[in-house]
Amino acid sequence: MSMDNRDLNKLKRIDLLELLIAQGKEIDRLKEELSKAEAELYSRRIDIDSAGSIAEASLRLNGVFQAAQAAADQYLENIRRMEAEARGRLTDTEQNGQK
């Protein structure tokens, strides 16, 4: 779900909390998906003839994991940023409501 600042400012506190919960569930789902992909990579037989050597195959496999980890890190950073923005807006909303 992509929202701009105006959309987030219009949300009620409960909507912001629901958004945070949904994002948390999405993070959990993606972590599980990454874990399954890693397990699948480990379980596959590496074709040594096409890899040339065990060392080369290991380097290729390491590159796959690095790319997957980088993608997961970037996604989590985006989620954290969105969560921080939502919390900031929630705080602003609460403060404006107390005035």
Yes or no: say if 61 and 42 are a contact pair by the CB < 8 Å rule: no
92 against 84, higher pLDDT: 84
Contacts of 27 (CB under 8 A, 6+ apart): 75, 76, 79
Contacts of 86 (CB under 8 A, 6+ apart): 8, 16, 19, 20
Say what percent of the chain tops pLDDT 70. Answer: 82
Task: Specify the pTM.
Answer: 0.40
46 against 27, higher pLDDT: 27
